[in-house]
Structure 1
Amino acid sequence: MTLRPDQWDLLTTLAQTPSGWVAEGPTDEGRRRRATAVRELAPEGLCELASDQLLQKLRDHDGRRPAWAARILPDGQPVLRYRELHIASATGELPPRPPVPAGIDLTGSEVDVLRRIVALAPLLPSARTQALADALAHAMPGTPGNHWVVPANAEHLDTIEAALRLQTLTGASTSTSYHCSVRKHRNSHEPPVRLTHDAPGT
C-alpha cells in the first residue's frame, strides 16, 4: 500500500496529538473522506481506531458521539519522518543533522560494498565484520552527491579499510577506494590492515 495525499495529511494531523485521540463527526464530505482514510491506515499499523466504548466517552460538550476517533501508533512516526527526509533529500534540502562523531566520508557505492560484505558475514566467519556492521548502523547522509558519513573509531576505520582491501584483492571492483583510504588513514610504512581476527601463524 502506498499512502495517498489525504492519508499523509491525516497521519500528520494524528502525529500532532501524539498522546491523545483525534475525533471527528460526520458533518461534511471532507470528514467522510478522512474517515475512509483513517480506516485504511489502521490495518497498516500506523494508527489505532477507537472502540465503540471509547467513542461513547469522547462525546463533545453537546453530547454528540464522534463518528470515529484515532490516534497515531509508534510505527506511524518513523513513516512520517522518513517521508520528510526522502522529500528533503530529493530537493537537496536535508534538515540540520545532529553532530556526527569523527569518521570517514564514503561514496554510496563504497557503502554498498561494505553492506554487501556485512551481508555475507555468515559465510566469512573469520572476517572482521562485526565492527563494520556497528559502524554502518550509524551511517548518515553526508555531503551532496550520494556521500555518506560513517562514524568510526580506530577499530571501525580498520574494518572499513579491510573490507575495501578485500574488494580490491578479489578484483571485484576497479575502485581506488582502498588506496585512498590508506593514504588518508594509515602511514605509508605500516603493513596492510588485517582481514581477519586471527594473528598470523595461529
Structure 2
Amino acid sequence: MAAEEKTLDLLRTVEARRRRAEHGWAVDAVLTPVKQRVLNLADRGLLELADREERAALSAWEGRPVRWAARLAPDGHDLLLYAASRPRHTPPAPADSPGPGRRRIELCLSQMAALWQAVGLGARLRRPLADGLTDQVRTACCDHRVKRWVLHLTDDQIRSVAYVFWLHKTTGSALEANRFARDTGITHRPAPARRTAIPESAPLLHRPPSAAPDHHT
C-alpha cells in the first residue's frame, strides 16, 4: 500500500473510532497498535491530540486513565473528504488486450495535451484526424502506476498521432514527437509537392497582331 493510502486508511480508522464514541474522541485503548503512526499524523497536522484537561474529562468518562486520544484536525477532515470525492479512474486494459489490429500506446501528459489541442481544432484541420482517434483521445485513461495515458490505436491512428506531434514539433516543442518516434518508430514527414519540370526561361507569349485600322469608316 502506498504511503498516501496508508495515511488515508489511518485517518478513516480514527474517524470511525471517534464516531463510535459518545465523547467524540478515538482513545488510546482502541488505537494502541498504531500509536506511533497516530503521533506522526498529529505532527503533520492531520490529527488533533487531546490536551491535559480533555484527557482528564475522557478519563472520567471512560472510568480509567486515558493517556492520549485523537480526532481529525481540519486538514485531516478535508483530506478524507477530498479523497472520497475524487472520481475513480477505470484501470487501463492489460497490455496484451488492446484488441485485434490495435497497439497499446502510452503517452505522457504533454503528449496528451498536444492531442487534446488537435481534437479541439477538429474539422478546421485540412488533414483530418484518423477515424476513431478523437474518441480514443477523449476516453483515454491514465495508468497512475506508470504515469502514462493509455490508448489502443490502429496503424492509421498511430500515423495520425505522429502528424499531430509533427505539428507540435514544428511550432515549438520537439520532445513529444521525439519520444513518440522512440517508442513507436513512427514519425511524420510531409510528402514533397508533385511538380513538373520548371524551364530555365519562360517562353515569350506573342500577342496576335492587332487588326489594321479601317480607313473607310
Is the TM value for this pair above 0.5?
no
Determine which structure has greater relative contact order: mean sequence separation of CA pairs < 8 Å that are 6+ residues apart, divided by chain length: 1
TM-score of Structure 1 vs Structure 2, range by shorter chain? 0.3 to 0.5
The two structures have a TM-score, normalised by structure 2, of 0.40
The two structures have a TM-score, normalised by structure 1, of 0.42
